[in-house]
Structure 1
Amino acid sequence: MNKNGDADRMARLEEALAHLTRTADDLSEIVARQEGELALLRRRVGLLLDREAEREADAGGTIPLADQRPPHW
């Protein structure tokens, strides 16, 4: 290859690397945001389960529904 061909090839490789780097950075930000969202949702589900267990206990149930075995067991 000649010098122009090498320079063109190098420019294409650098451009591809820049795009891949940007994509990796974008995906990293997305994963970090989703991790925070999942943590929030886990906390909320935990609170809802606790609230429902308290409500069932206050209603006079012997065992909270979440702790009972399914009927097919």
Structure 2
Amino acid sequence: MGDIDKKNRLEESPFQYRVTKSGVVFIDYEGRQVKILKGKDADRFLEKLKTAGSEKERQLVMAKITGNFKRGNERL
């Protein structure tokens, strides 16, 4: 994982996720919702989280699934 997180932003655990009773997964970045997963996508995501060994690996899985959503024009 050496070159993936050069600025060590994943150490701060910016991503969180919530799972509803119906199996819908909400992924948040710094408290703001950025992605919703349903059905097979949600199942695959939860399976990847189970196989991740550490919290940093879980953060990396969430970062990859959300994609490149920050463009520099986000409001504070």
Task: Give the TM interval when normalised to the shorter protein.
Answer: under 0.3
Larger radius of gyration: 1
TM score, norm. by length of structure 1: 0.22
Q: Which structure has the higher relative contact order (CA within 8 Å, separation 6+)?
A: 2
TM score, norm. by length of structure 2: 0.21
| Structure with the largest fraction of helix | 1
